[in-house]
């Protein structure tokens, strides 16, 4: 078993709440959400961070995040969405497998994270 927790999620060794899956991406609920519906989109193939990921995986993950953001607004009642990436520890990256945070926002709720 790999020591990367998100590779463990892709392989099924680490449990996760799956939201969506494509040939090259996996989306699942964040274990410590900043807001209701906060999820993560990752490439199935390991890349460490934004500077490491290849163009094809970056494109696939970004397009999948956009599709999910659109569904949050069009179908799930969100009024806006934050898309976030932390690249390297000084920028708050804590899991070193590339991921995009997709965080729905609601007009009637204050933001504390």
Residue ranges in contact with ligand 5GP by CB under 6 A: 5, 14, 16, 28-32, 40, 86, 92-95
**5 touches Zn ion by CB under 5 A:** no
Choose from Zn ion, ligand 5GP, none: what does 4 bind? Cβ within 5-8 Å by kind.
Zn ion
Q: How many residues bind Zn ion (CB under 5 A)?
A: 5
**95 touches Zn ion by CB under 5 A:** no
Rg (CA), the chain: 14
Give the residue from 109, 78, 97, 108 showing the smallest Cα distance to 7. Answer: 97
Q: Which of 6, 26, 28, 98 binds Zn ion (CB under 5 A)?
A: 6
- The string of DSSP codes covering the chain is --S-HHHHHHHTSS---EEEE-SSEEEEE-SS-SSTT-EEEEESS---STTTS-HHHHHHHHHHHHHHHHHHHHHS--SEEEEE---SGGGT--S-S--EEEEEE-TTS----
**96 touches Zn ion by CB under 5 A:** no
Select 38 or 99, whichever has its Cβ closest to Zn ion. Answer: 99
Question: Would you call 99 a catalytic residue per the annotation?
Answer: yes
Catalytic residue among 38, 97, 99, 101: 99
* Active centre residues (catalytic): 99
* Interacting residues toward Zn ion by CB under 5 A: 4, 6-7, 46, 97
């Amino acid at each position: 078993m790999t020591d990367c927790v998100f590779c463990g999620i892709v392989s099924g060794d680490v449990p996760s709440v799956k939201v969506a899956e494509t040939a090259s991406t996996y989306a699942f609920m964040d274990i410590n959400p900043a807001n209701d519906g906060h999820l993560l989109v990752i490439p199935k193939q390991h890349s460490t961070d934004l500077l490491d990921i290849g163009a094809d995986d970056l494109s696939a993950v970004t397009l999948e995040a956009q599709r999910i953001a659109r569904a949050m607004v069009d179908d799930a009642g969100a009024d806006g969405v934050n898309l976030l990436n932390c690249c390297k520890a000084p920028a708050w990256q804590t899991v070193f497998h590339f991921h995009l945070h997709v965080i729905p926002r609601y007009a009637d709720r204050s933001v504390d994270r």
